[in-house]
């Protein structure tokens, strides 16, 4: 498995719900931001020009939360090889003590930008994200 890609998020006033902590929809937005940033940081420019990703499923476990001004570190990685057009992505958000507050297993499908159709993930697209071991 390749090392996780990380990014820090700090809760802003607009992220907070009536309970005084980060709204569940914001966690999903942060998951998408993590996946996009990982793709843009690791995929070669020629792949970014040809392919895009759409989410097909989120499975999320909420174990804690943060309030305005508090931060979490998001970690994302690809735990297994692609299956046809799909890749599973893991995302964990940890607080300053390392406790996992939100954990997700998300499934993304690859789209050929020119045709706007799903397509199998080629080995050369998977290689920068997954080392070939399950």
Question: How confident is the model over 81-105, as pLDDT tens digits?
Answer: 999 999 999 999 999 999 999 999 9
Q: At which residue do the structure tokens 């970014």 appear? A: 48
Task: Report how far apart the first and last C-alpha atoms of the chain are (Å, whole number).
Answer: 8
Give tens-digit pLDDT for 27-67.
999 999 999 999 999 999 999 999 999 999 999 999 999 99
CA atoms of 87 and 121, how far apart (whole Å): 8
Q: Looking at the domain assignment, is residue 88 inside a domain?
A: yes
User: CB–CB of 11/55 below 8 Å?
Assistant: no
List 60's β-bridge partners, or say none: 104
Q: Looking at the domain assignment, is residue 133 inside a domain?
A: no
Count of the separate structural domains present in the chain: 1
CA atoms of 55 and 69, how far apart (whole Å): 29
User: Whole-model pTM?
Assistant: 0.93
Q: 69 lies in which domain range?
A: 5-126
């Amino acid at each position: 498995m390749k090392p996780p890609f990380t990014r820090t998020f700090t809760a802003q006033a607009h992220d907070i719900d009536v309970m005084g902590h980060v709204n569940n929809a914001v966690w999903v937005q942060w998951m998408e931001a993590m996946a996009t940033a990982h793709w843009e940081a690791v995929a070669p420019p020629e792949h970014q020009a040809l392919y895009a990703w759409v989410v097909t499923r989120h499975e999320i476990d909420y174990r804690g939360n943060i309030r305005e001004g508090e931060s979490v570190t998001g970690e994302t990685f690809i735990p297994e090889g692609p299956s046809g057009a799909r890749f599973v992505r893991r995302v964990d958000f940890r607080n300053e003590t390392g406790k996992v507050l939100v954990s997700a297993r998300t499934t993304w499908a690859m789209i050929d930008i020119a045709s706007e159709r799903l397509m199998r993930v080629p080995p050369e697209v998977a290689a920068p994200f997954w080392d070939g071991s399950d």
